[in-house]
Amino acid sequence: MTTSIWQHAHRKHETVYDVIVVGGGIVGCSTAYWLRRRQPSLDVAIVEADTLGAGASGRNAGFVVQGTDVDFLSDIERYGRRAARRLWHFTRDNRDLLSSELHTSTFGWRSDGSLTVAATEAENQRLQDCVPRLRAAGAPVVHLDADKTNARLRASGFAGSLFVTTGAVVNPLRLVHHIAAESGADVRTQHPVEALDDGEPGVTLRTPHLRLRADQAVLAMGASLPSLVPSLRSFAQPMRAQMLSTQAAERQHASVPIYSHGGAFYVRQLEDGMVLAGGGRHSHTEAEATATDATTPAVQAAIERYLHRHFPWTQAMPIERRWSGTMTFSPDGRPVVGPVPGLPGSVFATGFTGHGMGYGFRMGRLLADLVGGKSQPDGYDLFSADRFDPDGPTSDTQPRSHPSSPSTSAQNRHSSSQ
């Protein structure tokens, strides 16, 4: 491709900011929001390769739930009791901040609770075992038996469920746009960052059409992070998520967000009666370990079978749309945050393991605090990349093991809230 003298001159010109946030999803836009709340005088830019919310943040079911990608008992087993509680409270803070800081009517906020539904008696027993531990952690949770669960959802085949009163749902794309607007940041879309250079001091970012410079950068890029910073590849394993939506039903039967089968499937019915469903990756994990935006017959068929089996009232509802999106999974199921190698003062966040909506707004505050000079903001030790350093400090937040790729249990789940 040729370049005119005008384009060449424009590329050579640098636009300067105090902080540049790379990535226009929930985490990036939230970081820009909290930077403005912390230091209103900062000149902040959000630089996005596509459009705001074009990635996982605009392709999920809009669940704002508490906890991680697995049940609370599993979190205790893999992280320890104290870290599991802190993770639950971090995601609860995320939910509460969304409700208190923002104009919730602009993004379809509803907080009627959430259901984690058991497919088998063994899974139901595990959910029951979670109840006293969750209550001890301050979680408002109630166990429902099989009859109450199936009656509530007009469903069949479920063995029981946990109802958490603080679960919520949003329109995720509207949420991202609202946060970006409230941040007051200079939003630059359609500008993929191709290179990062040490600006001595600061950092210089190059896109096909712009040169941008800032004192600090925040990389919140999802699956494209490893292509920009290859040394962070181990923290951001791409995993494809697939979903579908039906035409609207006459009535709303599933008024709260639903996870089932250990998180392998999830369902949400919108107020207009349309049903969203996703998951089905657990039998196709190798094929779904990709960043390719495409649906596959096998996974889509698994979602449909699940939906028709457990929610018989959906059988006559035609499928209206099918889509996919790419999440990033971390080695141990927790997000990973840390300094960008070779760029002093710049930070990254990745590996939200399908729960970006559950972490994102609160994580933006943590990243803003890091950029603002706090070396150990509240929660940082839960997510610091240092936990994977075998020579680093040990604490109750250290993972019980250090796998080189996402755990099998995490890969088998298809969370919907990133």
Beta bridge pairs of residue 338: 348
* pLDDT at residue number 398: 54
Residue 409's pLDDT band, with cuts at 50, 70 and 90, is very low
What is the pLDDT, as a whole number, of residue 255? Answer: 84
| Statement: residue 358 has pLDDT above 70 | yes
**294: DSSP letter:** -
| DSSP at 404 | S
Residue for token pair 């994990």? 285
Cβ(143)–Cβ(131) below 8 Å? yes
pLDDT of 80 strictly over 50: yes
Residue 138 pLDDT > 90: yes
3-state DSSP assignment of residue 246: strand
User: How far apart, in whole angstroms, are the C-alpha atoms of residue 113 and residue 186?
Assistant: 35
Q: Angle at the Cα of 85 (from 81 to 90), degrees rounded to 5?
A: 150
**161 pLDDT higher than 80:** yes
**pLDDT bucket at 244, cuts 50 / 70 / 90:** very high
User: Mean pLDDT score of the chain, rounded to an integer?
Assistant: 92
Q: Which of 57-66, 98-107, 198-207, 367-376 has the lowest mean pLDDT?
A: 198-207
- Average pLDDT value for residue range 136-162: 97
Segment (H or E) for 255: none
> Is it the case that residue 417 has pLDDT exceeding 90?
no
Report DSSP letters for 5-25, one per residue: HHHHHHHHSEEEEEEEEE--S
Average pLDDT on 5-29 reads 87
pLDDT tier at 119, thresholds 50, 70, 90: very high
pLDDT for 180 beyond 50: yes
Phi and psi angles of residue 391, each rounded to the nearest 5 degrees, phi first: -100, 0
d(CA 2, CA 281): 44
Cα separation, 383 vs 368, whole angstroms: 15
Given this model, what pLDDT does residue 410 score? Answer: 42
Beta bridge partners of 168: 64
Residue, of 253 and 229, whose pLDDT is higher: 229
- What average pLDDT does this structure show over 355-369? 97
Q: At what angle do helices 81-101 and 356-371 cross, to 10 degrees?
A: 90
Residues 6+ apart with CB under 8 A from 37: 368
Report the pLDDT averaged over residues 375-387: 95
Mean of pLDDT values over 64-83: 95
The pLDDT value given to residue 392: 59
* 400 CB neighbour count, 10 Å cutoff: 9
Q: What is the mean pLDDT of residues 169-187?
A: 98
Cβ neighbours for 106, distance < 8 A, ≥ 6 positions apart:
174, 178
Question: Any idea how long the chain is?
Answer: 418
156 Rama sector, left if φ>0, alpha if ψ -120 to 50, beta otherwise: beta
Tokens of residue 339, six digits: 């300094």
Domain 14-108+167-235+331-411, architecture per CATH: 3-Layer(bba) Sandwich (3.50)
pLDDT in tens, 296-335: 999 999 999 999 999 999 999 999 999 999 999 999 999 9
